[in-house]
């Protein structure tokens, strides 16, 4: 997960994980989000509003209505573990700041970063990021990768910042 392409795929997974229940993308995929939790407690550095939504359209486009808040940070190291049907399938560690800077130089990653208002470099200032459904991003070219996600998946994300931690736990079924 140390390349700009892996940042794109990870962002796409997170986007899809917000879809509450959607049968879309040419009618072939149904996503059910059982839960998404901010799990690092009261002082979490980055939080996602639990009322945020992301939907997958029939033509494989993603649109989002979401709010994320951060108290700001200079450094961020992310550990991601994906367990599928009870078996661990991915365990990665990523320097988020280094990946953001690499992704800003990649056209596809830059498009996602811009669409969702994600900062493209560190340090990240205290801010609130809001998206609305007026912008879309096509997942058509990633559609064939969705088959790999079939089944029940638990995605655990722990981010250690210079100011504390962020933690997200996502329970998803496809």
pLDDT at 23: 54
Residue 9 within a domain? no
Give, for 33, the enclosing helix (H) or strand (E).
strand 29-38
User: What whole-number distance in Å separates Cα of residue 108 and Cα of residue 111?
Assistant: 5
pTM, full prediction: 0.76
pLDDT at 24: 58
Per residue in 44-88, pLDDT (tens digit) is 999 988 777 767 777 878 777 888 899 999 999 999 998 988 888
DSSP string computed for 90-132: EEEEEEHHHHHHHHHTSHHHHHHHHHHT--SSSSBPSEEEEE-
Domain at 151, CATH number: 2.70.220.10
Residue 47 within a domain? yes
Domains: count for the chain: 1
Residues of the chain short of pLDDT 70, as ranges, are 1-33, 54, 146-149, 174
Q: Which residue segment(s) compose the domain that 84 sits in?
A: 23-173
pLDDT at 1: 43
Residue 12 within a domain? no
């Amino acid at each position: 997960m140390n390349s700009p392409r892996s940042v794109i795929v990870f962002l796409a997974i997170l986007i899809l994980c917000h879809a509450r229940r959607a049968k879309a993308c040419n009618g072939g995929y149904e996503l059910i989000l059982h839960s998404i939790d901010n799990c690092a407690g009261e002082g979490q550095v980055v939080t996602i509003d639990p009322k945020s939504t992301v939907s997958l359209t029939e033509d494989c486009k993603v649109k989002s209505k979401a709010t994320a808040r951060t108290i700001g940070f200079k450094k961020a190291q992310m550990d991601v573990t994906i367990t599928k049907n009870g078996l661990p399938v991915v365990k990665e560690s990523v320097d988020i700041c280094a990946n953001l800077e690499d992704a800003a130089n990649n056209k596809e990653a830059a498009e996602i970063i811009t669409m969702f208002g994600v900062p493209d470099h560190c340090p990240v200032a205290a801010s609130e990021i809001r998206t609305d459904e007026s912008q879309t991003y096509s997942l058509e070219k990633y559609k064939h990768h969705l088959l790999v996600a079939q089944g029940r998946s638990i995605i655990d994300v722990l981010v250690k910042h210079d100011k504390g931690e962020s933690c997200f736990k996502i329970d998803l079924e496809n």
